[in-house]
Amino acid sequence: MIATPTTKPHTGKDYLNLTLTATDKLERSPNQSLLPLTAKINDKDHLEIGGCDISALVKQFGSPLYILDEVTLRTACSQYRDGFKTHYPGESQVIYASKAWSCLAVVGVIASEKLGFDVVSGGELYTTEKALAQLGDSSQEIAEKIYFHGNNKSVEELKQAIEIGCTIIVDNWLELETLTQLGNSQSGSSIPILIRLTPGIECHTHEYIRTGHLDSKFGFDPNQLQAVFSYIAQQNVLDCRGLHAHIGSQIFERQPHQDLAGVLVEWLKIGSESGLNLRELNIGGGLGICYTEADDPPSIEEWVKAVSEAVIKACQRCEIPLPKLIAEPGRSLIGSACVTAYTVGSRKEIPQLRTYLAVDGGMSDNPRPITYQSLYRVVLGNRMSAEMTETVTIAGKHCESGDIVIKDAQLPQTHPGDILVIMGTGAYNYSMASNYNRLSRPAAVLVNNGEANLIVRRETYDDLIKQDCLPQRLLP
């Protein structure tokens, strides 16, 4: 876990020392680290990630810039994958929650670590399928790796998923009946599905990211499941393989997931007694990461161990064989692997009240502060050893008073052109980015061993108007 400091960090360098005492950095659980595992300070007093100087990256690729550390991402993948192999004696599969960040390169790295993918839209499904095909996967391999979520999948999306052959996680009666109709209207193999249920388990997270309590838009209520099982048992076109539930995101407690395991296993037994061949159990994801030094999530292995033991114990109690255990982490795989670099611009000082320091991005590349009141930490990437002497509010450049990246941030004295680095921006930053105020969405680079590869190009002004249409009748 992250160490609780006795004093606040005095320099950017101090943030490199806030992680517990692993002899080797790569032994750390990435979700417990504020900065990517490869972060270091070079002889120019600049922050380096993946062997790449942050200031040099901004000079080459511009800013704002997402900088994704490949080593940190791969380490999180391997800790999840190997953790289940160690602690769960049955079959297991880790699938990445693509909504955290979906692009071809992210799929490529995660696929090479033998993880599967959870997708929640036709666009994420398309991206994942195209990336896996480019990597050489067969149609069958692609189908086996993808699980398709969503509370209101369109008919077109369902047809897309059926054509690919991936597992569809069914969320409601309309979807269940639509899948039956689609399956009956075409010949071929049955449609693999999981049933999502709402387990009624609360967890202490933001209201918008709690999805396991009964008042949720996701999943079947438990009192519907017997009818659901009976319906599926009569449909030859549906191959119901198991159950799924997800209780929320940015969770630090282990007990909610242990409770969830017990609920799911009990329903797995009831479903099997209803004549279904249920052999998969998807426990969801939700493990949190460190956004500040006050955050204290369990390590990836601690979470995996707790979940595995809870499933094993519940299966023994219910006297059923161990199912294939599936987990779908997103934030804890990629959140800590990325930072965002900004360039400092204007400054406004309001005596005895506040100093605003503006950067060249904001809510269009990171909507989480204005949406969730999320907290972040920042360092001055081009002067890491400089003493933090002032408190400033880092403001975005958008025409919106609420466009504040960090309120009351501790920083050294800054100057226009300095590089600010915000930590922990791998999850829900790129994926929720917008063109608000017609700002171009940032570029992203993948860094490893001193090499930086562009994985998302910066949008141009031409890109901004590419989908616009000017009616002919408006032209002179």
Q: Which positions are catalytic?
A: 399
| DSSP conformation class of 160 | H
Integer Cα distance of 377 and 35 in angstroms: 10
Q: What is the residue type of 467?
A: Q
Q: In sequence order, what are the residues at sequence separation of 6 or more whose Cβ sits closer than 8 angstroms to the Cβ of residue 349? A: 355, 356
Integer Cα distance of 128 and 151 in angstroms: 19
What is the helix (H) or strand (E) element at residue 333, kind and residue range?
Answer: helix 331-334
109 phi and psi angles, rounded to 5 deg: -65, -45
Cβ-count burial 284-304 (b if 16+ within 10 Å, e if not): bbbbbbbbebebebbbbbbbb
| DSSP conformation class of 52 | E
Token reading at 131: 């990336």
Integer Cα distance of 334 and 338 in angstroms: 7
Select from 30, 7, 2 the least CA-distant residue to 18: 2
Contact of 427 with 374, CB cutoff 8 Å: no
Select from 389, 387, 385, 420 the least CA-distant residue to 406: 420
Bond into 367 cis (ω within 30): no
